[in-house]
């Protein structure tokens, strides 16, 4: 039950919009009575960044539609690799189960970075299981917003690292359609169809996406399909309804298990049980928005969202052996040598069907005002959010159990965990415009309750229930200065927050008739930064940011599937990015350009000795250096070509900073690697067709990418090309 003391905050939030709107209306009534009623949004409906980007008091990056079309990234991994501060561990070929880490944070399943589509979280379950098994297909994206600095009080949870928002394309104002086909090596192919129409009344648009191919490892084929219907209805000059319905399905043989050291040396791309392992994921979503433009200085938007995630995975390998250096089969019939992977077809395995459902409603007021005698933009709102999830596990020694239905009917029900979450979040933020300065204080309050019902654990009924609740205050303040033309100097500080995950609150291995809790505390951080972004010089842009993140109780993985608090930690570093267009500098249509980014996390360390951590040791999966450089050429005839390199320095993978590789493959360094990429896009002047070719890891470098559950290789050479035709 949400705590009663928060009702006072709710009353304040509900009262302020009405008061502020009334004041704003009075201020403009006389001077603007004859102006048009319809006004431009102060904050875009689906964006997490305001229109006045020069006033943003923190670091951010935008990958816009033009950049996406010229680069033609293979997946989200390539789309974000030019953004400073971002580290992506590409375990899968098409960015399935994406792993994104910000500023030295562990990238595993992007659990410390808030992923959103049009402002709505994309996780399996934002509070209970913030794992990223889905990201918006780039075919539907008009721009990607990456926010790392102050101003994150408007969104949550999972904001210790930052936020990434995929802004989808708006419905058209007239008829439009496009079709795209692509094909590449590794049996890769895909297509995208978009069709829509619109007018003064609004618009409607349908997207259909298909991608399929072979994964990084053998027998890791995949196929995804998605249908999205988006519509807008302009009820009158002030009221607009926006609706979006989506269905997504993934069928793949991609397994989370890695290889032992001996297996990896023999063939780093093998997947011993890939022909039997499977992953099925279905996602259904609904998003409804009502926008009421009160006047030309105020907008009230109310959003409802609903997401239903249903995933089921089957795997035959529990772990890799630290004595043989090979994978070990589990759930085999009596007499089958479990270490002999040729016997995989004779064994059963583990099915993990899981269901996640969440929904929420969020009214929000965006208003320009001068209540304090200073021109200001304010955002005030709250969100009510509910989650229900069910985690099951079935184990069976019969090879017929490779079918989920047979396993459920005849296997052992090892795990039955039910989790429900209730959350109220309140937020308020105000940007004061003080000449060349802006000041943006904000506050977010997260009030949540999690109820855990362990119906069954490790094959035995438990009947154990637990409740975990907390109220967290998350203040932030940032400032910017625009005293130099086309230049912003900014600084900010805010509190980050990642609630404890219920599946980590219970140590299932210790449950033997009696309830035992191994609770992890919430991760809370203090994030500070100071930086500059500028386009002062003709034809050039650059940015530089110095950042620091102090964790109170960072969560680390002690062993496979077991997480603990690792005490205090610190992340400090610098981010640099820039671009020079020589065509603009020298006023010529032949535009040679260079662009690049560099991240140096020179401090990423534990600050406290615990049973599992040593003060001064470097944090896992926190490379010191990440860099990308691209050289390109573009011309108004419609061509854009570029070639570039991506570099990631070596990484530790555990709190002990082990350097010697274990036979299991789970310990040891990840060496540095450098990848070569290129792309060419051509759209003839006056043509409706666009032709493109894109290649990644063109040198076909073999490199190690992860040791989480054994050794996993990065993707080999991938080249694809295609054509898009606009009607």
Band of the pLDDT at 15, cuts 50, 70, 90?
very low
Task: List pLDDT tens digits, range 445-484.
Answer: 999 999 988 888 765 556 778 888 899 999 999 999 999 9
User: Look-up: residue for tokens 């003709």?
Assistant: 538
Short-list 287, 285, 450, CA closest to 361: 287
**Domains of the chain, residue spans:** 6-726
pLDDT value at position 32? 43
CATH for 6-726 is 2.40.170.20
pLDDT value at position 27? 44
pLDDT value at position 16? 42
Global confidence as pTM = 0.92
Band of the pLDDT at 502, cuts 50, 70, 90?
low
Whether the CA torsion 518, 519, 521, 522 is positive or negative: it is positive
Asked whether residue 509 carries a pLDDT value surpassing 60, the answer given is no
User: Look-up: residue for tokens 């595993």?
Assistant: 108
Band of the pLDDT at 338, cuts 50, 70, 90?
low
pLDDT value at position 372? 84
In this structure, the dihedral spanned by the alpha carbons of residues 359, 135, 394 and 559, taken in order and rounded to 10 degrees, is: -110
Which residues, 6+ apart, have CB-to-CB distance to 25 below 8 Å? 294, 295, 297, 298
Asked whether residue 679 carries a pLDDT value surpassing 90, the answer given is yes
pLDDT value at position 558? 67
Asked whether residue 594 carries a pLDDT value surpassing 60, the answer given is yes
The rounded distance, in Å, linking the Cα atoms of 453 and 463 is 7
Q: Which of 117-126, 146-155, 299-308 has the lowest mean pLDDT?
A: 146-155
657: which strand partners? none
pLDDT value at position 204? 98
Q: DSSP string covering 509-522, please?
A: GG-SSS--B-PPPP
Band of the pLDDT at 152, cuts 50, 70, 90?
confident
Helices and strands in the chain, H and E counts: 7, 35
Higher pLDDT, 364 or 501: 364
Higher pLDDT, 116 or 13: 116
The rounded distance, in Å, linking the Cα atoms of 700 and 343 is 32
Band of the pLDDT at 646, cuts 50, 70, 90?
very high
pLDDT value at position 51? 79
Q: DSSP string covering 520-581, please?
A: PPPEEEEEEEEEEEE--STTEEEEEEEEEEEESS-EEEEETTEEEE---EEEEEEEEEEEEE
Asked whether residue 585 carries a pLDDT value surpassing 80, the answer given is yes
How large is the average pLDDT for residues 399-420? 94
Residues 332 and 343: beta-carbon distance below 8 Å: yes
Fill in the DSSP letter of residue 266.
H
Q: Please tell me the chain's helix, strand, coil percentages from 3-state DSSP, rounded to the nearest 5.
A: 10, 55, 35
Percent of the chain with pLDDT over 90: 72
pLDDT value at position 515? 45
Mean pLDDT of the chain: 89
pLDDT value at position 386? 98
Higher pLDDT, 515 or 388: 388
pLDDT value at position 17? 43
Beta strands in 560-666 (DSSP E): 562-565, 569-581, 591-606, 625-635, 639-648
The rounded distance, in Å, linking the Cα atoms of 271 and 252 is 13
Asked whether residue 402 carries a pLDDT value surpassing 80, the answer given is yes
Task: List pLDDT tens digits, range 234-255.
Answer: 999 999 999 999 999 999 998 8
pLDDT value at position 33? 39
Fill in the DSSP letter of residue 4.
T
Q: 584: how many CB neighbours lie within 10 A of its CB?
A: 13
Band of the pLDDT at 330, cuts 50, 70, 90?
confident
The rounded distance, in Å, linking the Cα atoms of 124 and 388 is 11
The rounded distance, in Å, linking the Cα atoms of 698 and 292 is 51
Asked whether residue 390 carries a pLDDT value surpassing 60, the answer given is yes
Band of the pLDDT at 516, cuts 50, 70, 90?
very low
Asked whether residue 651 carries a pLDDT value surpassing 80, the answer given is yes
């Amino acid at each position: 039950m949400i705590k009663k003391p928060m009702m006072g905050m709710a009353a304040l939030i509900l009262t302020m919009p009405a008061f502020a709107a009334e004041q704003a209306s009075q201020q403009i009534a006389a001077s603007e009575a004859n102006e048009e009623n319809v006004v431009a949004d102060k904050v875009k409906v689906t964006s997490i960044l305001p229109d006045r980007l020069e006033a943003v008091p923190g670091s951010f990056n935008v990958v816009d539609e033009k950049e996406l079309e010229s680069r033609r990234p293979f997946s989200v991994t390539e789309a974000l690799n030019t953004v400073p501060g971002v580290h992506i561990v590409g375990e899968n070929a098409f960015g399935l189960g994406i792993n994104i880490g910000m500023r030295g944070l562990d990238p595993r399943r992007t659990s410390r970075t808030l992923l959103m589509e049009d402002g709505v979280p994309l996780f399996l379950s934002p509070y209970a299981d913030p794992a990223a098994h889905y990201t918006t297909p780039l075919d539907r994206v008009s721009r990607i917003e990456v926010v790392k600095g102050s101003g994150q009080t408007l969104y949550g949870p999972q904001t210790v690292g930052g936020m990434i928002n995929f802004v989808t394309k708006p419905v058209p104002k007239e008829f439009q359609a496009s079709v795209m086909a692509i094909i590449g090596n590794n049996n890769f192919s895909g297509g995208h169809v978009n069709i829509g129409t619109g007018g003064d009344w609004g618009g409607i648009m349908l997207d259909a996406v298909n991608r399929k191919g072979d994964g990084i490892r053998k027998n890791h084929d995949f196929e995804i399909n998605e249908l999205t219907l988006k519509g807008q209805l302009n009820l009158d000059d002030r009221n607009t309804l926006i609706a979006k319905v989506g269905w997504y399905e993934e069928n793949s043989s991609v397994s989370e298990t890695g290889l032992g050291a001996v297996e990896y040396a023999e063939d780093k791309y093998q997947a011993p049980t890939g022909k039997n392992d499977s992953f099925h994921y279905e996602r259904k979503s609904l998003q409804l928005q009502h926008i009421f433009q009160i006047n030309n200085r105020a907008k009230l938007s109310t959003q409802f969202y609903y997401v239903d995630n249903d995933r089921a995975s089957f795997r035959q390998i529990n772990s890799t052996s630290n004595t043989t250096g090979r994978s070990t089969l589990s759930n085999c019939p009596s007499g089958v040598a479990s270490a002999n992977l040729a016997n995989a077809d004779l064994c059963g395995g583990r099915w993990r069907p899981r269901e996640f459902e969440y929904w929420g409603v969020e009214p929000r007021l965006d208003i320009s005002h001068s209540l304090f005698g200073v021109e200001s933009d304010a955002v005030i709102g709250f969100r009510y959010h509910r989650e229900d999830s069910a985690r099951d596990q079935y184990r069976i020694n019969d090879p017929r159990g490779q079918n989920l239905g047979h396993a459920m009917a005849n296997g052992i029900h090892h795990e039955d965990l039910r989790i429900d979450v209730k959350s109220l979040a309140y937020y308020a933020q105000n940007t004061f415009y003080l000449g060349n300065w802006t000041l943006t204080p904000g506050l977010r309050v997260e009030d949540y309750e999690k109820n855990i019902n362990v119906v069954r654990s490790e094959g035995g009924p438990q009947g154990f229930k637990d409740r975990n609740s907390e109220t967290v205050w998350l203040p932030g303040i940032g400032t910017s200065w625009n005293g130099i033309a086309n230049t912003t100097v900014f600084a900010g500080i805010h509190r980050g927050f990642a609630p404890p995950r219920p599946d980590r609150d219970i140590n299932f291995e210790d449950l033997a008739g009696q309830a035992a809790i191994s609770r992890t505390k919430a991760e809370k951080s203090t994030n500070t930064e100071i930086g500059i972004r500028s386009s002062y010089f003709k034809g050039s842009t650059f940015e530089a940011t110095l950042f620091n993140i102090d964790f109170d109780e960072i969560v680390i993985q002690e062993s496979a599937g077991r997480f603990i608090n690792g005490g205090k930690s610190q992340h400090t570093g610098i981010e640099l990015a820039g671009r020079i267009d020589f065509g603009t500098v020298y006023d010529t249509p032949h535009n040679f350009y260079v662009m690049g980014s560099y991240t140096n996390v020179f401090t990423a360390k534990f600050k406290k000795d615990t049973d599992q951590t040593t003060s001064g040791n470097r944090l896992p999966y926190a490379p010191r250096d990440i860099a990308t450089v691209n050289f390109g050429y573009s011309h108004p005839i419609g061509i854009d070509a570029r070639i570039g390199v991506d570099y990631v320095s070596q990484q530790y993978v555990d709190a002990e900073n082990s350097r010697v590789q274990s036979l299991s493959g789970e310990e040891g360094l990840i060496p540095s690697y450098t990848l070569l990429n290129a792309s060419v896009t051509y759209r003839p002047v006056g043509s409706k067709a666009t032709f493109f070719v894109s290649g990644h890891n063109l040198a076909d470098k073999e490199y190690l990418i992860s040791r989480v559950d054994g050794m996993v290789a990065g993707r080999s050479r991938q080249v694809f090309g295609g054509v898009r035709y606009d009607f």
